[in-house]
Structure 1
Amino acid sequence: MASAEVALHTGGTRVASKWKTVILASLGGSLEIYDFIIYGVFAKEISALFFPSADPVVALISAFGIFAIGYVSRPLGGILLGSLGDRHGRRAIFIVSLLAMSGATVGIGLIPSYAAIGIWAPILLIIMRLIQGFFLAGELACSITYVVEEIPKRASLVSGMVIFCLNSGVLVATLVSLTLHASMSPTDLGIYGWRIAFIFGGFLGLISYFLRRSLEESSEYRNMRGHVAKRPFRTVLREYPTQVVAGIASTAIVNVSNTLLFVVLPSYLSGVLRYPGAQVSLGQNIGIAVMSVSLIAFAWLGSKVSPRTIHRLGSLVIVATSFFFYQKLVAHDINLILAFVWIGLIGGTINGTYSFLLADLFPTSVRFSGIAVTLNAATVIFTGITPLIVTNAIHLSGYLAAPGLYLSCAGAISLIVGLLLGKCGGELKSSAT
């Protein structure tokens, strides 16, 4: 009896330790994504200081151009950091990426305006964004890889937890925006208020660094030390090209819909459709909060129902409703708060399942590289250019509901590929796949 009690206690302690590790790995991602997304939240203020123009839409296009540049360095970052993570371990990538991201974020907050240093202002902004993009490339892939290898029997839930914490990081960014908008005049916010948000992000990165110092390597990685891939990136491209393409296509809807919600909608609704800025900021926070609850619920449901099925249903709903939804927004024929609640609920179906789908595509030996290549290729194709596409479409055509058409196209891509996704992957058997 005593031996049984000791074994039970030891097992419980081990499980608790694993969940603590999962939470630490996931929380770090939330603090780091804040650093990257805060740029989009304050794109309107940044465009005025760094890209002065008589036409606010043109200035916004310039600011979103720099936002897109932040994704240029992500493929290289994904390749290098993913290969290092598969060859030498996940932990080191966690630590280095945090410090680099934090430094670049503080750097953006300290760059003088165009009026002060001229062309050097946007040049320095580009450099900082490239640094952010490079090191963020390994962050999400590393977190997903780490948690599904630590608790593979609950892969759907723990991978969803990573996205939940990532979403929470975005929520922190929008809450900071809401606080600054509520406490500062528009003039002060445009001059220096937005800089506070970036410097604050740097301190969040340091907190994340200290949280992650206690992390060890994932259990599955430690168990396969003798079978580490020598050239994981080449192995992924040579042996798993179908999985890479399927992963990119299936996450198209995630990248486009999240970019619209996190980055484009604040400036689009207030600057183009003339909704009150405070109402837009409040609605966005509510939408992100609803999505956070929704996605973790669907991640849990993924242990009972196939995550692929949930992802397909979410994609189908987005394809069927996006065009009409944006027409309602343009006509001011919808309650803005309820609109954001709807976005959050539907967004949870795809955000709560896509990380599991990606992890399921690749074996442990190249999982980090496979997820990194897939995620970062998808972000370059569908995330970095989304603000540019929708703002230019509105500017050139004058059709204000253009974002809805673009979102429907991305959803169609994910839906079609999602119907074929069952032919790929299948290594993670813990959920109802």
Structure 2
Amino acid sequence: MTTLRETDQMDAEKPVSKSRTRRAVLAATAGNMLEWYDLTSYGFFAASISKAFFPAGDPTVSLMLAFGTFGVSYLVRPLGALVLGTYADRVGRKAALLLTIQLMLVGTLLIAVMPTYESIGMAAPVLILLARLLQGFSAGGEFGSATAFLAEQAPGRRGFMASWQFASQGAATLLAATFGTVLSLSLSGAQLDSWGWRIPFIVGLLIGPVGYLIRRHVPETTEFTDAASAGDVAVAPVRQVLRNQKLPVLLMTGALAMSTAVTYVIVYMPTYAHEVLGLPSSAGFIGAAVSGVVLTTLTPLVGHLSDRIGRTKVMLIAGTALILSIYPLFLLLSGSPSLLVMGVVMFILGVLKACYFGALPALMSEAFPTATRGTGLSLSYNIGVMSFGGFAPVVITWMIAATGSHLSPSFYIMAAGALSIASLLAARRFLALR
């Protein structure tokens, strides 16, 4: 009987076309960037969206309603993971990638053209919620499909290939933050709240068709087609994962906690800068853009490093450094709020995050066999994002209001980090014994 490790070794010895891998990276990242660009844009412009769709007497309540809608959409992500992950394992990675980008485009269109509360009353927040639920369902299948698609292109370089999944998230953060910076500097607050916040979503509608066309013209992964030819395609991948692979799902969910917490703290930073620190909104957007540049450029290098020295070694070092440094970073930022300090803090945060999550997609893909990889990846990722990410902004907003401490984001990250370190230590033993 051939073991999973032996199969990976044989796959690693197969020659891989550089042009094929380049096209695969472009196809996965182009669509994936759109997915996370739309999600990040909603978080970045939550203050304006709250005024347009969730008016309330208390601005904090209005903001929490907007972030609550942001978070509620994450409750549907595990459903998207099960449905679209199964689709990816039964029909193919490419087919799932085409479906997710179409669903995300519909959700983006609804948000871009939605009339405000002032125009249509309660129908506005309800329809915004439906659009976010559709986006959440789509995103629920995107990570598993895109990561499996990348990781299976070159099994001997899983770390480097899969890292582009998260690098594209960094690019999405950079793009959304760039729009936030330009709009906040060129428009008045009234203009931004009235119509300026819609511009990033309209741009997303222009990007989407390009990503769809690129994905449509790339071939399915060889690893999946070989498995399908050999009859090694799961008939009921959800049942197999829930029955036989509960431990890797739990371990990968835990390993994801810290990365997810940092991601959504970055999404929260423009609001934190303006509403909590009293800085111009542009300061938060510029800080997020700094992190986006670091995440886009450094993540693939860390993925390549993990192919050489191991996934968990890189992640444990980075995770420990992040836990030890996050409190001093927020202490510095809250004590001396300025654009310069914001930029320095977000640069350091981006470096530490990139060093942690650069190896994470490959680690997660190696925790599941080819037959159930799409489902396993999607389920573990979206349980983690639902638990530690989607509601992070609203939880942090509440923590700051309840305690009066501007350091609340650091406490949130440290708690998630402790769980991730414990999960990594257990995952290293699990993968070594498998």
* Shorter-chain TM band: over 0.9
What TM-score, normalized to structure 2?
0.93
Q: 1:234 aligns with which of 239, 243, 251?
A: 239
Cα drift, residue 161 of structure 1: 1.5
Assess if the C-alpha contact under 8 Å between 1:291 and 1:343 holds in 2: no
Cα drift, residue 165 of structure 1: 1.7
Cα drift, residue 427 of structure 1: 11
Q: Does 1:60 align with 2:66?
A: no
The structure-2 alpha-carbon separation of the partners of 1:16 and 1:187, relative to structure 1 and needing over 3 Å to count, comes to same
Aligned counterpart, 2:6: none
Is there any run of 5+ residues in structure 1 with no aligned partner, and where? 1-10, 429-433
Aligned counterpart, 2:165: 162
The separation in 2 between residues aligned to 1:427 and 1:223, in whole angstroms, is 26
1:30-56 Cα offsets, whole Å, 9 max, x none, are 122112221001001001111123332
The separation in 2 between residues aligned to 1:255 and 1:316, in whole angstroms, is 16
Give the letter aligned to residue 354 of structure 1: L
Aligned counterpart, 2:311: 307
**After superposition, where does 1:148-227 map in structure 2 within 5 Å?**
148-225=151-228, 226-227=231-232
Identical amino acids, percent of aligned pairs? 28
The structure-2 alpha-carbon separation of the partners of 1:291 and 1:22, relative to structure 1 and needing over 3 Å to count, comes to closer
**After superposition, where does 1:247-262 map in structure 2 within 5 Å?**
247-261=252-266
1:149-181 Cα offsets, whole Å, 9 max, x none, are 111111000011221122112211111212222
Cα drift, residue 114 of structure 1: 1.0
The separation in 2 between residues aligned to 1:18 and 1:315, in whole angstroms, is 30
Q: Does 1:392 align with 2:398?
A: yes
3-state SS of paired residue (1:392): helix
The structure-2 alpha-carbon separation of the partners of 1:15 and 1:296, relative to structure 1 and needing over 3 Å to count, comes to closer
The separation in 2 between residues aligned to 1:111 and 1:22, in whole angstroms, is 33
Aligned counterpart, 1:278: 282
Report which stretch shifted further, 79-88 or 324-333.
Answer: 324-333
Q: Cα RMSD between the aligned structures?
A: 1.7
The separation in 2 between residues aligned to 1:179 and 1:329, in whole angstroms, is 23
Assess if the C-alpha contact under 8 Å between 1:74 and 1:380 holds in 2: yes
Assess if the C-alpha contact under 8 Å between 1:74 and 1:376 holds in 2: yes
The separation in 2 between residues aligned to 1:16 and 1:182, in whole angstroms, is 41
Cα drift, residue 182 of structure 1: 2.4
Assess if the C-alpha contact under 8 Å between 2:166 and 2:357 holds in 1: yes
Aligned counterpart, 1:97: 100
Aligned counterpart, 2:331: 327
Aligned counterpart, 2:9: none
Aligned counterpart, 2:248: 243
Cα drift, residue 399 of structure 1: 1.7
What TM-score, normalized to structure 1?
0.93
The structure-2 alpha-carbon separation of the partners of 1:194 and 1:333, relative to structure 1 and needing over 3 Å to count, comes to closer
The separation in 2 between residues aligned to 1:333 and 1:85, in whole angstroms, is 46
Q: Does 1:361 align with 2:352?
A: no
Report which stretch shifted further, 51-60 or 186-195.
Answer: 51-60
The structure-2 alpha-carbon separation of the partners of 1:183 and 1:364, relative to structure 1 and needing over 3 Å to count, comes to same
Q: 1:411 aligns with which of 400, 407, 417?
A: 417
The separation in 1 between residues aligned to 2:234 and 2:284, in whole angstroms, is 48
How many corresponding residue pairs? Answer: 417
1:114-161 Cα offsets, whole Å, 9 max, x none, are 111111110000000000000111112111101111111110000112
The separation in 1 between residues aligned to 2:261 and 2:414, in whole angstroms, is 10
3-state SS of paired residue (1:70): helix
Assess if the C-alpha contact under 8 Å between 2:269 and 2:285 holds in 1: no
Cα drift, residue 426 of structure 1: 6.0
1:166-202 Cα offsets, whole Å, 9 max, x none, are 2112211111212222222221111001111112112
Cα drift, residue 26 of structure 1: 2.3
Aligned counterpart, 2:7: none
Give the letter aligned to residue 370 of structure 1: G
The separation in 1 between residues aligned to 2:135 and 2:23, in whole angstroms, is 27
1:271-329 Cα offsets, whole Å, 9 max, x none, are 11112222222122112212222222211111221111111111111211222222222
The separation in 2 between residues aligned to 1:154 and 1:362, in whole angstroms, is 17
The separation in 2 between residues aligned to 1:40 and 1:427, in whole angstroms, is 41
1:45-73 Cα offsets, whole Å, 9 max, x none, are 00111112333222111110000011111
The structure-2 alpha-carbon separation of the partners of 1:62 and 1:17, relative to structure 1 and needing over 3 Å to count, comes to same
Q: 1:74 aligns with which of 70, 73, 77?
A: 77
1:90-134 Cα offsets, whole Å, 9 max, x none, are 111111111111111011111111111111110000000000000
Aligned counterpart, 2:3: none
